[in-house]
Amino acid sequence: MSSMVITNIGTIVSGKIECPVLAGNTIVVVDKKIAAIGGAELVAQNPELKVIDANGATVTPGLIDSHVHPVIGDFTPRQKTLDYIDSSLHGGVTTMISAGEAHFPGRPKDPAGVKALAVVASKSYYNARPSGVKMHAGAVILEPGLTEADFAEMAANGVWLVGEVGLGGVKKPADAAPMVEWAKKHGFKVQMHCGGTSIPGSSTVTADDVMKTKPTVVSHINGGPTAIAPSEVDRLINETDFMLEIVQCGNPKVADYVARQLKVKNQLGRLVFGNDSPSGTGIIPLGILRNICQISSVSGIAAAECIAMATGNTAKAYGLNTAMIEVGKEADFVIMDAPMGSIGTDALTAIEAGDVPGVAMVIIDGEIKVKVSRNTPPAVRNPKM
């Protein structure tokens, strides 16, 4: 089933930071895409489609985890864990973006090897999506010897991500900047490590390093896991227009500082959320929901805007046609509500109170992938078929 009508929605969260809540209570999906958004009259106008009654719960776009370190399939040797991607699906994550396959056993570090790994990882996840989750993998880690022709070759084979600059042998801006320029020329989105050393072989990266290299996204500005100083954060906020990523496996104090500074400057559209997992910190299936709850309840930002940081902001940064409730976008949704026992009366007020919402259903491309989350607390209101 890739066509359906979702109706009796309590609140539609758009995923767009500039207009985070939509009017209406019904969404129509046809052939995996959003076809219409409006009132209950849309049900009668589409009598041939299966109906999901949201029962007054909140519908949001599927969440994006902007910082994952996959290997192959739904297994990570970093924590020797199976089905971690499926567990994230039960936390509302429908799309993941690799920041580099850094934990691949015996990861090659020569130009031919890094190209081969990027192509294999990219193609394998597109050919077999674990539990239906849209994993964008094959984020090439920069190593000495790569040329512009290598980026052109990778792009021709479907690779479009550069993993965290600083994880590989290319560390200095003088070496990295030309490669980043080549990558961007061939359509790549570029991530760059920021903060203290994370794994053996990586390096500490300062604000000055980032500014000279010019990535698309500053990875874990709040540390992965060690953060740069607030003065360094200020430079990246005030002297650049880069997208800035907050991760769950980072420094919570700096995460709060970043969110508050961007709110004051009316630049919340620059903020995206990731986990930075699997890592030494572990695997956090509810990490993106926890980011949303933390920044909303602690940093004082509306829940619907924080959901946009985990959806539409990331989709715009990476050029993805998902994670926004808008006609023509891919039909990826989370139906969520206040968890039982929360002081919140719906998903948004529960989030603002600091409670992880209950995920009652997850839909990818118009197909139900999760009926009741095995990882979140149970929702007060559950959809009906």
pTM: 0.97
Q: Provide the pLDDT for residue 203.
A: 67
* The predicted structure's pLDDT at residue 308: 98
Beta bridge partners of 53: 7, 384
> How many angstroms separate the Cα of 141 from the Cα of each of 39, 203, 211?
47, 13, 19
Q: What is the mean pLDDT of the chain?
A: 97
Write the pLDDT tens digit of every residue in 89-113: 999 999 999 999 999 999 999 999 9
44-64: pLDDT as tens digits = 999 999 999 999 999 999 999
Q: Which helix (H) or strand (E) holds 182?
A: helix 173-185
pLDDT digits (tens, 9 = 90+) for 231-248: 999 999 999 999 999 999
What are φ and ψ of residue 30, in 5° steps? -130, 125
Strands 81-82 and 139-140: unpaired
244 with 281: CB under 8 angstroms? no
Find tokens 């930002």 and name the residue. Answer: 301
DSSP lists the bridge partners of residue 279 as 282
Q: Report the 10 Å Cβ neighbour count for 365.
A: 19
CA dihedral 178, 101, 240, 251 (to 10 degrees): -140
Q: pLDDT of 157-202, one tens digit each? A: 999 999 999 999 999 999 999 999 999 999 999 999 999 876 666 6
Which tens digits make up the pLDDT trace of 286-321? 999 999 999 999 999 999 999 999 999 999 999 999
Domains of the chain: 4-60+324-370 (2.30.40.10), 63-285 (3.20.20.140)
CB 161 within 8 A of CB 140: yes
Per-residue pLDDT, 234: 98
Question: 64 by DSSP, 3-state: which?
Answer: strand
**Residues near 178 by beta carbon (within 8 Å), at least 6 away in sequence:** none
pLDDT at 100: 97
Q: What share of the chain is helix, strand, coil (3-state, %, to 5)?
A: 30, 25, 45
Q: How many helices (H) and strands (E) does the chain have?
A: 12, 21
Is residue 264 over pLDDT 70? yes
The residue assigned the tokens 């940093």 is: 299
Q: In what order do the strands lie in the sheet with 271-274?
A: 139-140, 161-165, 189-192, 217-218, 243-247, 271-274
